[in-house]
Each structure stands twice: as C-alpha cells, then as structure tokens.
C-alpha cells in the first residue's frame, strides 16, 4: 500500500523520536507512530504514556479528544497536545509540530513535519530548452535546467540565475520551509510596465543535502506563468507548493 492513504493510516516508526520544549525532552520514545491524518504526508503520534503528565495541563475535553497545554516553568504552549479518545488513534497523543522547540529523529533534527517514507525527491540535470514568460515578457530562458521530481507532485524546474532577467526580480520577505529541501526565499516579478506579481519565484540558499543541486537556482510557479519546453507551450498545472 502507498499514499494517498485513507485517513487515518497508522504505521510504527523504527526511529527514536525526541521532542524538545523549554530545554526538556518531553517525549523520548522508540514507540512513535506515523499517522496520515492528511493523504499525502504523515505526522507523529505517541502512546499517551510517552508524554509525562508533569509537562501538560488539560485545557479542553470533548467526547472525541482531550486538549492539553504544554507547561514548563514560564513557558506555555496552549492546546498544543491532543489525546484521542476514539477510533484507530485512541490512546495516542499528537503534539503540534510548531509548538515544540525542536524535533529529532535519532540525532538528526527534522523540520515542518516527518518525511514521508513513501516519497522520493530526485534532482536531475537536463538539457531541455525552458522558456518562461509572464504577460508576454520573457524572464527566463535556459538549456541547462535542473528538474526536481518529487513523488506525487508536479515537476519543478530550477534555472540558473544567469539565465534569468534578474532585473525583473524583486526580493520578497516571504519564506517557506520544506522538510525535503529546506528554507525557500522568494522574489516578486515586476514587469517593465510596473505591474508586479508577488512571490511567484523562489530559491534555496542552503538546501538540504538531498537537494543540494538546486542551490542558488530559481524556480517559478508554473501555475502562474507561461512555460515552453522544447518549443511546446505547457498547460498550467493545479496550484501546489514550492
């Protein structure tokens, strides 16, 4: 069986998982579960006994679940823990990923959410001719793209900045995170007529090792621009993330 799973799908994780909050490992377990509450990526849940009661205070209760605040000293993360009372996840607790200070699989820190064991990411050098326009203005043209293939998602094309109209790209303050690629920075595109489309180009200054080949290259939302591959205009795909 492979994703997308019907919800929730539960698997045991073979990894030691630790959750750090206010200088304390509030979870340190070999009994973590990968749970697909959403079809395409998992989250971690734990047996209730793996989260010591000294770190939590009940904040809400219903027939289906109990919510807890994480409280250590003067630090509090409100309603950051859910304990499930019914269904396949009964007896498990979930900690909101962003509420913790850090998460570790073995001794490696992870970000955003656990990586999906069924997903693969490959970056391949290509010689396809890629041309990108917005409102009839060309701002990228290359024969040396790097193509990022991520299981279940649209192919993303990364282009050397030297093959782009950098004079049309305006730095943005927007950032996003990906557990596979790292932290992305963004550009707006400002055309010669002054019109601007926000946050449709991104790049990774220091991508994770598995995607190191995209370092410094820029990608674009194919959903919002016009793209030609080897002279053939491509249909715009459904909206997806970076």
Q: Indicate whether 176 pLDDT > 70.
A: yes
User: Is residue 56 one of the residues assigned to a domain?
Assistant: yes
Structure confidence at residue 236 (pLDDT): 86
In DSSP notation, 112-127 reads SSPPPTT--EEEEE--
Residue 92's pLDDT band (boundaries 50, 70, 90)? very high
- Check whether residue 65 and residue 150 sit in a common domain: no
User: Is residue 222 one of the residues assigned to a domain?
Assistant: yes
User: Is residue 3 one of the residues assigned to a domain?
Assistant: no
Nearest CA among 21, 30, 82, 83 for reference residue 55: 21
Tens digit of pLDDT for each residue in 187-217?
999 999 999 999 999 999 999 999 999 999 9
| Pair 120, 30: CB distance under 8 Å | no
Q: Indicate whether 179 pLDDT > 60.
A: yes
Q: How open is the CA angle 139-216-242, to the nearest 5 degrees?
A: 75
Structure confidence at residue 113 (pLDDT): 93
Tens digit of pLDDT for each residue in 11-32?
999 999 999 999 999 999 999 9
116-139 mean pLDDT: 95
Question: In which residue are the tokens 């989260």 written?
Answer: 51
Could you give the number of structural domains in the chain? Answer: 2
Residue-number span of the structural domain to which 127 is assigned: 121-233
User: Is residue 197 one of the residues assigned to a domain?
Assistant: yes
Q: Which residue has the higher pLDDT, 217 or 41?
A: 217
User: Is residue 104 one of the residues assigned to a domain?
Assistant: yes
Structure confidence at residue 39 (pLDDT): 78
Report the CATH number that the domain containing residue 79 is assigned in CATH. 2.170.150.40
Give all strands (DSSP E) within 39-145, no chain letters: 43-47, 56-61, 65-72, 75-84, 92-95, 102-105, 108-110, 121-125, 130-134, 137-142
- Check whether residue 32 and residue 126 sit in a common domain: no
- Check whether residue 155 and residue 83 sit in a common domain: no
């Amino acid at each position: 069986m492979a994703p997308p799973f019907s919800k929730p799908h539960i698997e045991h994780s073979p990894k030691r998982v630790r959750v750090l909050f206010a200088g304390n490992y509030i979870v340190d377990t070999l009994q973590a579960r990968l749970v697909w509450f959403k079809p395409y990526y998992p989250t971690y849940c734990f047996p209730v006994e793996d989260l010591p009661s000294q770190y939590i205070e009940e904040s809400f209760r219903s027939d289906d679940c109990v919510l807890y605040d994480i409280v250590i000293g003067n630090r509090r993360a409100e309603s950051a823990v859910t304990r499930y009372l019914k269904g396949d996840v009964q007896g498990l607790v979930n900690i909101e990923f962003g509420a913790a200070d850090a998460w570790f699989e073995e001794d490696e820190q992870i970000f955003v959410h656990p990586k999906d064991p069924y997903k693969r990411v490959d970056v391949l050098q290509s010689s396809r001719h890629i041309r990108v326009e917005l409102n009839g203005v060309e701002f990228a043209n290359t024969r040396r793209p790097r193509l990022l293939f991520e299981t279940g998602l649209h192919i993303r094309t990364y282009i050397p900045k030297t093959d782009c109209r950098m004079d049309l790209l305006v730095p943005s303050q927007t950032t996003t995170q990906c557990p596979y690629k790292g932290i992305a920075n963004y550009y707006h595109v400002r055309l010669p007529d002054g019109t601007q489309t926000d946050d449709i180009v991104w790049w990774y200054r220091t991508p994770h090792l598995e995607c190191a080949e995209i370092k410094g290259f820029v990608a674009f939302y194919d959903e919002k621009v016009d793209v030609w591959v080897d002279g053939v205009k491509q249909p715009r795909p459904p909206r997806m993330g970076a």
